[in-house]
Amino acid sequence: MRHIPFPRLGQGGWMIGEDPARAEEEIAALRLGLELGLTLIDTAEMYGEGRSERLIGRAVAGRPREGFALVSKVYPHNAGRDRLRQSCEDSLRRLGTEYLDLYLLHWRGAVPLAETAEGMETLVREGKIRAWGVSNFDTADMEELWSVPGGDRCAANQVLYHIGSRGIEYDLLPWMAERGVACMAYCPLAQGGRLARMGQDLRSGPALLRAARAYHATVPQILLAFTLRRGGVTAIPKAGGAAHVRENAAALDLRIQPEDWAALDEAFPPPTSKMHLDIE
Ligand code: NAP
Protein backbone atom coordinates (compact mmCIF):
# COMPACT_ATOMS: atom_id res chain seq x y z
CA MET A 1 0.00 0.00 0.00
CA ARG A 2 1.14 3.48 -0.81
CA HIS A 3 -0.13 6.08 1.65
CA ILE A 4 -0.74 9.60 0.47
CA PRO A 5 -1.93 12.52 2.57
CA PHE A 6 -4.91 14.22 0.96
CA PRO A 7 -6.84 17.24 2.21
CA ARG A 8 -10.25 16.41 3.68
CA LEU A 9 -11.99 18.54 1.11
CA GLY A 10 -11.08 18.81 -2.55
CA GLN A 11 -12.77 20.09 -5.70
CA GLY A 12 -14.65 18.14 -8.34
CA GLY A 13 -14.05 18.71 -12.03
CA TRP A 14 -17.01 17.11 -13.75
CA MET A 15 -18.96 19.47 -16.05
CA ILE A 16 -16.42 22.25 -15.87
CA GLY A 17 -14.78 23.64 -18.98
CA GLU A 18 -17.92 22.82 -20.98
CA ASP A 19 -19.12 26.36 -21.60
CA PRO A 20 -16.46 28.84 -22.79
CA ALA A 21 -18.59 31.72 -21.48
CA ARG A 22 -18.23 30.35 -17.93
CA ALA A 23 -14.51 29.50 -18.13
CA GLU A 24 -13.20 32.58 -16.29
CA GLU A 25 -15.71 32.14 -13.47
CA GLU A 26 -14.81 28.46 -13.14
CA ILE A 27 -11.09 29.19 -13.13
CA ALA A 28 -11.57 31.87 -10.45
CA ALA A 29 -13.65 29.40 -8.40
CA LEU A 30 -10.95 26.71 -8.56
CA ARG A 31 -8.26 29.23 -7.59
CA LEU A 32 -10.35 30.46 -4.68
CA GLY A 33 -10.79 26.84 -3.58
CA LEU A 34 -7.03 26.36 -3.60
CA GLU A 35 -6.62 29.49 -1.47
CA LEU A 36 -9.22 28.21 0.99
CA GLY A 37 -7.46 24.86 1.43
CA LEU A 38 -9.38 22.72 -1.09
CA THR A 39 -6.03 21.71 -2.51
CA LEU A 40 -6.99 18.58 -4.40
CA ILE A 41 -8.65 18.81 -7.81
CA ASP A 42 -10.35 15.81 -9.38
CA THR A 43 -10.83 15.31 -13.10
CA ALA A 44 -10.79 12.60 -15.78
CA GLU A 45 -9.92 12.17 -19.43
CA MET A 46 -13.63 11.46 -19.90
CA TYR A 47 -14.84 14.82 -18.57
CA GLY A 48 -15.71 16.82 -21.67
CA GLU A 49 -13.18 14.60 -23.51
CA GLY A 50 -10.33 16.61 -22.02
CA ARG A 51 -12.02 20.00 -21.63
CA SER A 52 -12.15 19.69 -17.83
CA GLU A 53 -8.44 18.88 -17.68
CA ARG A 54 -7.60 21.81 -19.94
CA LEU A 55 -9.56 24.27 -17.81
CA ILE A 56 -7.95 22.95 -14.62
CA GLY A 57 -4.56 23.29 -16.33
CA ARG A 58 -5.32 26.98 -16.89
CA ALA A 59 -6.45 27.39 -13.26
CA VAL A 60 -3.26 25.94 -11.77
CA ALA A 61 -0.79 27.37 -14.30
CA GLY A 62 2.10 29.18 -12.62
CA ARG A 63 1.30 27.92 -9.11
CA PRO A 64 3.95 26.04 -7.12
CA ARG A 65 3.24 22.42 -7.99
CA GLU A 66 3.73 21.04 -4.47
CA GLY A 67 0.89 23.28 -3.23
CA PHE A 68 -1.93 21.21 -4.74
CA ALA A 69 -2.77 17.65 -5.79
CA LEU A 70 -4.13 16.63 -9.20
CA VAL A 71 -6.21 13.50 -9.63
CA SER A 72 -7.22 12.20 -13.04
CA LYS A 73 -8.79 9.01 -14.33
CA VAL A 74 -8.27 6.72 -17.25
CA TYR A 75 -11.11 5.19 -19.25
CA PRO A 76 -11.34 1.42 -18.65
CA HIS A 77 -10.71 0.73 -22.34
CA ASN A 78 -7.46 2.72 -22.12
CA ALA A 79 -6.22 0.97 -18.97
CA GLY A 80 -4.29 -1.82 -20.71
CA ARG A 81 -0.64 -2.27 -21.62
CA ASP A 82 -0.86 -0.43 -24.94
CA ARG A 83 -2.86 2.68 -24.11
CA LEU A 84 -2.35 3.52 -20.44
CA ARG A 85 0.86 5.50 -20.89
CA GLN A 86 -0.58 7.46 -23.83
CA SER A 87 -3.72 8.34 -21.85
CA CYS A 88 -1.63 9.45 -18.91
CA GLU A 89 0.67 11.57 -21.07
CA ASP A 90 -2.35 13.17 -22.77
CA SER A 91 -3.82 14.06 -19.36
CA LEU A 92 -0.48 15.49 -18.22
CA ARG A 93 -0.26 17.63 -21.34
CA ARG A 94 -3.82 18.96 -20.98
CA LEU A 95 -3.23 19.72 -17.30
CA GLY A 96 0.15 21.30 -18.05
CA THR A 97 1.90 19.27 -15.38
CA GLU A 98 4.80 16.86 -15.08
CA TYR A 99 3.00 14.39 -12.85
CA LEU A 100 -0.35 13.39 -11.37
CA ASP A 101 -0.64 12.91 -7.63
CA LEU A 102 -3.15 10.14 -8.18
CA TYR A 103 -4.27 8.29 -11.31
CA LEU A 104 -7.45 6.24 -11.10
CA LEU A 105 -9.04 3.51 -13.18
CA HIS A 106 -12.42 5.23 -13.73
CA TRP A 107 -14.45 2.04 -13.44
CA ARG A 108 -13.89 -1.63 -14.02
CA GLY A 109 -13.78 -2.75 -17.63
CA ALA A 110 -12.53 -5.69 -19.66
CA VAL A 111 -8.79 -5.14 -19.16
CA PRO A 112 -7.39 -7.62 -16.59
CA LEU A 113 -6.69 -5.92 -13.26
CA ALA A 114 -3.15 -7.36 -13.23
CA GLU A 115 -2.37 -5.53 -16.47
CA THR A 116 -3.67 -2.22 -15.14
CA ALA A 117 -1.76 -2.63 -11.86
CA GLU A 118 1.44 -3.39 -13.76
CA GLY A 119 0.95 -0.41 -16.06
CA MET A 120 0.20 1.92 -13.15
CA GLU A 121 3.31 0.76 -11.28
CA THR A 122 5.37 1.47 -14.40
CA LEU A 123 3.97 5.02 -14.49
CA VAL A 124 4.94 5.43 -10.83
CA ARG A 125 8.50 4.30 -11.58
CA GLU A 126 8.68 6.71 -14.51
CA GLY A 127 7.62 9.58 -12.26
CA LYS A 128 4.47 10.35 -14.26
CA ILE A 129 2.20 9.59 -11.32
CA ARG A 130 2.81 9.63 -7.57
CA ALA A 131 0.23 6.97 -6.79
CA TRP A 132 -2.63 5.12 -8.41
CA GLY A 133 -6.03 3.85 -7.44
CA VAL A 134 -9.44 2.82 -8.69
CA SER A 135 -12.97 4.16 -8.78
CA ASN A 136 -16.40 2.55 -8.43
CA PHE A 137 -14.86 -0.63 -6.98
CA ASP A 138 -17.00 -2.57 -4.50
CA THR A 139 -15.52 -4.88 -1.87
CA ALA A 140 -15.40 -7.95 -4.14
CA ASP A 141 -13.55 -5.91 -6.79
CA MET A 142 -11.06 -4.72 -4.17
CA GLU A 143 -10.53 -8.31 -2.99
CA GLU A 144 -9.82 -9.33 -6.56
CA LEU A 145 -7.45 -6.41 -7.03
CA TRP A 146 -5.59 -7.45 -3.89
CA SER A 147 -5.10 -10.92 -5.35
CA VAL A 148 -3.14 -9.76 -8.42
CA PRO A 149 0.56 -8.83 -8.40
CA GLY A 150 0.99 -5.22 -7.28
CA GLY A 151 -2.76 -4.80 -6.73
CA ASP A 152 -2.20 -3.96 -3.09
CA ARG A 153 -0.26 -0.86 -4.16
CA CYS A 154 -3.65 0.76 -4.87
CA ALA A 155 -3.77 3.93 -2.77
CA ALA A 156 -7.40 5.04 -3.12
CA ASN A 157 -10.90 4.10 -4.24
CA GLN A 158 -13.20 6.90 -5.40
CA VAL A 159 -16.83 6.03 -4.79
CA LEU A 160 -20.21 7.72 -4.52
CA TYR A 161 -20.89 8.67 -0.90
CA HIS A 162 -23.36 11.08 0.63
CA ILE A 163 -25.81 11.03 3.50
CA GLY A 164 -28.51 9.47 1.34
CA SER A 165 -26.24 6.72 0.05
CA ARG A 166 -24.41 5.08 2.94
CA GLY A 167 -24.07 1.50 1.68
CA ILE A 168 -20.25 1.63 1.63
CA GLU A 169 -20.23 2.02 5.42
CA TYR A 170 -21.31 -1.61 5.81
CA ASP A 171 -18.27 -3.37 4.36
CA LEU A 172 -16.31 -1.37 1.80
CA LEU A 173 -15.21 1.50 4.05
CA PRO A 174 -14.06 -0.83 6.88
CA TRP A 175 -12.25 -3.03 4.32
CA MET A 176 -10.41 -0.01 2.94
CA ALA A 177 -9.66 1.47 6.37
CA GLU A 178 -8.07 -1.80 7.49
CA ARG A 179 -5.72 -1.69 4.53
CA GLY A 180 -5.04 2.04 4.55
CA VAL A 181 -6.79 2.66 1.21
CA ALA A 182 -7.99 6.26 1.06
CA CYS A 183 -11.64 6.88 0.24
CA MET A 184 -12.52 9.71 -2.09
CA ALA A 185 -16.22 10.57 -1.82
CA TYR A 186 -17.74 11.72 -5.09
CA CYS A 187 -21.18 13.39 -5.35
CA PRO A 188 -20.84 14.43 -1.69
CA LEU A 189 -23.58 17.02 -2.30
CA ALA A 190 -25.77 14.39 -3.96
CA GLN A 191 -25.37 16.62 -7.04
CA GLY A 192 -26.94 19.61 -5.36
CA GLY A 193 -29.60 17.33 -3.83
CA ARG A 194 -30.69 15.83 -7.14
CA LEU A 195 -29.67 12.27 -6.27
CA ALA A 196 -32.50 11.77 -3.80
CA ARG A 197 -33.37 8.11 -3.35
CA MET A 198 -36.28 6.25 -1.84
CA GLY A 199 -38.29 9.38 -1.20
CA GLN A 200 -35.45 11.15 0.62
CA ASP A 201 -35.32 14.88 0.35
CA LEU A 202 -31.69 15.93 0.28
CA ARG A 203 -32.40 19.62 -0.27
CA SER A 204 -34.95 20.44 2.37
CA GLY A 205 -35.69 17.34 4.44
CA PRO A 206 -36.70 18.25 8.03
CA ALA A 207 -33.67 16.61 9.71
CA LEU A 208 -31.26 18.40 7.39
CA LEU A 209 -33.04 21.72 7.84
CA ARG A 210 -33.03 21.29 11.63
CA ALA A 211 -29.30 20.58 11.66
CA ALA A 212 -28.62 23.48 9.31
CA ARG A 213 -30.59 25.86 11.55
CA ALA A 214 -28.87 24.60 14.70
CA TYR A 215 -25.39 25.27 13.29
CA HIS A 216 -26.20 28.45 11.34
CA ALA A 217 -25.25 26.48 8.28
CA THR A 218 -26.78 25.51 4.95
CA VAL A 219 -28.04 22.06 3.95
CA PRO A 220 -25.12 21.56 1.50
CA GLN A 221 -22.73 22.30 4.37
CA ILE A 222 -24.43 19.64 6.50
CA LEU A 223 -24.11 17.19 3.59
CA LEU A 224 -20.39 17.93 3.40
CA ALA A 225 -19.96 17.68 7.17
CA PHE A 226 -21.45 14.20 6.88
CA THR A 227 -18.84 12.99 4.38
CA LEU A 228 -16.11 14.53 6.54
CA ARG A 229 -17.49 12.91 9.69
CA ARG A 230 -15.13 9.96 9.61
CA GLY A 231 -11.40 10.08 9.00
CA GLY A 232 -9.80 8.77 5.83
CA VAL A 233 -12.43 10.26 3.52
CA THR A 234 -11.76 13.13 1.13
CA ALA A 235 -14.88 14.73 -0.32
CA ILE A 236 -14.67 16.35 -3.75
CA PRO A 237 -17.68 18.66 -4.21
CA LYS A 238 -17.93 20.41 -7.55
CA ALA A 239 -18.71 24.11 -7.44
CA GLY A 240 -18.93 26.33 -10.47
CA GLY A 241 -18.68 29.69 -8.74
CA ALA A 242 -17.05 31.54 -5.84
CA ALA A 243 -20.13 31.61 -3.58
CA HIS A 244 -20.50 27.82 -3.57
CA VAL A 245 -16.75 27.35 -3.05
CA ARG A 246 -16.79 29.63 -0.01
CA GLU A 247 -19.83 27.90 1.39
CA ASN A 248 -18.29 24.46 0.88
CA ALA A 249 -14.94 25.41 2.39
CA ALA A 250 -16.70 26.73 5.50
CA ALA A 251 -18.14 23.25 6.09
CA LEU A 252 -14.67 22.28 7.35
CA ASP A 253 -15.34 24.35 10.47
CA LEU A 254 -18.63 22.66 11.39
CA ARG A 255 -18.48 20.56 14.55
CA ILE A 256 -21.72 18.58 14.70
CA GLN A 257 -22.47 17.21 18.16
CA PRO A 258 -23.23 13.50 18.73
CA GLU A 259 -26.90 14.09 19.53
CA ASP A 260 -27.35 15.91 16.22
CA TRP A 261 -25.57 13.13 14.34
CA ALA A 262 -27.98 10.72 16.03
CA ALA A 263 -30.96 12.67 14.70
CA LEU A 264 -29.46 12.67 11.20
CA ASP A 265 -28.72 8.93 11.48
CA GLU A 266 -32.35 8.36 12.29
CA ALA A 267 -33.45 10.22 9.18
CA PHE A 268 -30.73 8.68 7.02
CA PRO A 269 -29.96 5.32 8.63
CA PRO A 270 -26.62 3.58 8.16
CA PRO A 271 -26.77 0.21 6.34
CA THR A 272 -27.55 -2.94 8.30
CA SER A 273 -26.69 -5.34 5.48
CA LYS A 274 -24.70 -5.44 2.28
CA MET A 275 -26.02 -2.99 -0.32
CA HIS A 276 -25.09 -2.68 -3.96
CA LEU A 277 -22.61 0.07 -4.76
CA ASP A 278 -24.28 3.24 -6.03
CA ILE A 279 -22.66 4.60 -9.15
CA GLU A 280 -23.35 7.87 -10.93
P1 NAP B 1 -21.68 17.12 -6.29
O2 NAP B 1 -20.33 17.64 -6.03
O3 NAP B 1 -22.36 16.29 -5.28
O4 NAP B 1 -22.68 18.30 -6.69
C5 NAP B 1 -22.35 19.27 -7.64
C6 NAP B 1 -23.56 20.18 -7.80
O7 NAP B 1 -23.82 20.83 -6.57
C8 NAP B 1 -23.38 21.25 -8.85
O9 NAP B 1 -24.60 21.38 -9.54
C10 NAP B 1 -23.08 22.49 -8.03
O11 NAP B 1 -23.58 23.65 -8.64
C12 NAP B 1 -23.86 22.23 -6.78
N13 NAP B 1 -23.27 22.90 -5.62
C14 NAP B 1 -21.95 22.97 -5.26
N15 NAP B 1 -21.80 23.63 -4.10
C16 NAP B 1 -23.06 23.99 -3.71
C17 NAP B 1 -23.54 24.70 -2.61
N18 NAP B 1 -22.73 25.16 -1.66
N19 NAP B 1 -24.89 24.93 -2.53
C20 NAP B 1 -25.74 24.45 -3.48
N21 NAP B 1 -25.32 23.75 -4.56
C22 NAP B 1 -23.98 23.52 -4.67
O23 NAP B 1 -21.72 16.24 -7.65
P24 NAP B 1 -20.65 15.84 -8.74
O25 NAP B 1 -20.06 17.02 -9.42
O26 NAP B 1 -21.30 14.83 -9.60
O27 NAP B 1 -19.51 15.08 -7.89
C28 NAP B 1 -18.35 15.75 -7.43
C29 NAP B 1 -17.13 15.34 -8.21
O30 NAP B 1 -16.91 13.93 -8.08
C31 NAP B 1 -17.28 15.50 -9.74
O32 NAP B 1 -17.16 16.84 -10.13
C33 NAP B 1 -16.18 14.59 -10.22
O34 NAP B 1 -14.92 15.21 -10.07
C35 NAP B 1 -16.31 13.41 -9.25
N36 NAP B 1 -17.16 12.32 -9.75
C37 NAP B 1 -16.58 11.10 -9.97
C38 NAP B 1 -17.31 10.04 -10.47
C39 NAP B 1 -16.64 8.72 -10.71
O40 NAP B 1 -17.23 7.84 -11.36
N41 NAP B 1 -15.44 8.53 -10.20
C42 NAP B 1 -18.69 10.19 -10.75
C43 NAP B 1 -19.27 11.44 -10.49
C44 NAP B 1 -18.51 12.48 -9.99
P45 NAP B 1 -22.61 24.78 -9.25
O46 NAP B 1 -21.78 24.09 -10.29
O47 NAP B 1 -23.56 25.79 -9.76
O48 NAP B 1 -21.76 25.30 -8.11
The pLDDT, as a whole number, for residue 81 is: 85
The pLDDT, as a whole number, for residue 3 is: 56
- Cα separation, 164 vs 55, in Å, equals 31
Report residue 274: phi and psi, to 5°: -60, 130
How far is the CA of 215 from the CAs of 114, 220, 228, 240, in angstroms?
A: 48, 12, 16, 25
Distance, first Cα to last Cα, the chain: 27
With a Cβ cut-off of 6 Å, ligand 1 is lined by 12-14, 42, 106, 135-136, 158, 186-192, 220, 236-241, 244, 247-248, 280
Encode the chain (280 residues) as per-residue pLDDT tens digits: 455 678 999 999 999 999 999 999 999 999 999 999 999 999 999 999 999 999 999 999 999 999 999 999 999 999 998 899 999 999 999 999 999 999 999 999 999 999 999 999 999 999 999 999 999 999 999 999 999 999 999 999 999 999 999 999 999 999 999 999 999 999 999 887 777 665 677 887 889 999 999 999 999 999 999 999 988 899 999 999 999 999 999 999 999 999 999 999 999 999 998 888 888 8
The pLDDT, as a whole number, for residue 257 is: 96
15 CA: nearest ligand 1 atom: 32
**With left for phi above 0 and alpha for psi between -120 and 50, is residue 161 left, alpha or beta?**
beta
For ligand 1, pick from 14, 40, 218 the residue to mutate: most ligand atoms within 8 Å of CB. Answer: 14
The pLDDT, as a whole number, for residue 232 is: 84
- Cα separation, 31 vs 52, in Å, equals 15
192 CA: nearest ligand 1 atom: 7
Return the half-sphere exposure (C-beta side, CA atoms, 13 A cut-off) of residue 205.
22
In one letter, which amino acid is 218?
Answer: T
For ligand 1, pick from 11, 72, 187 the residue to mutate: most ligand atoms within 8 Å of CB. Answer: 187
Report residue 217: phi and psi, to 5°: -125, 180
